[in-house]
């Protein structure tokens, strides 16, 4: 089921991104910061995180895929896909 991420997805999401082998350890840390900002009500985050996996109420957090995209600044209607990963 494709759905918006929730804070409880953080560990599984970071593990999935790391498992791709495309990110170095410091990049995973940066990804964690971007993800934390998404859940911080004080931060104006316009990015969108989606995942494919179990329901947020499920006891199992098996994420099959994740995507993060955000609008490009100083443009209208332009979006960047910053992360897409799956297993």
Q: By mean pLDDT, which of 6-10, 16-20, 51-55 is the weakest?
A: 51-55
> Whole-model pTM?
0.76
For 71-82, b/e burial (b = at least 16 CB within 10 A) is: eeeeeeeeeeee
* Model pLDDT for residues 22-79, shown as the tens digit of each residue: 888 899 999 999 888 888 876 667 888 999 976 555 544 678 889 999 999 899 999 9
Q: What does the pLDDT average to over 8-13? A: 88
Domain ranges of the chain: 2-86
Question: Is 2-86 assigned to CATH 3.40.50.1000?
Answer: no
- Displacement of CA 74 from its chain's centroid (Å): 23
9/6 Cα distance (integer angstroms) = 6
pLDDT for 55 equals 53
pLDDT for 34 equals 86
Task: Identify the burial level of 23 via C-beta atoms within 10 angstroms of its C-beta, where 0-12 means exposed, 13-18 middle and 19 or more buried.
Answer: middle
């Amino acid at each position: 089921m494709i759905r918006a991420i929730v804070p409880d997805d953080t560990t599984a999401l970071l593990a999935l991104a790391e498992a791709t082998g495309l990110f170095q350890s410091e990049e995973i840390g940066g990804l964690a910061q971007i993800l934390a900002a998404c859940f911080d009500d004080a931060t104006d985050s316009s990015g969108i995180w989606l995942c494919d996996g179990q329901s947020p109420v499920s006891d199992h957090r098996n994420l099959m895929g994740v995507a993060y995209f955000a609008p490009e600044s100083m443009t209208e209607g332009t979006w960047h896909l910053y992360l897409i990963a799956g297993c």
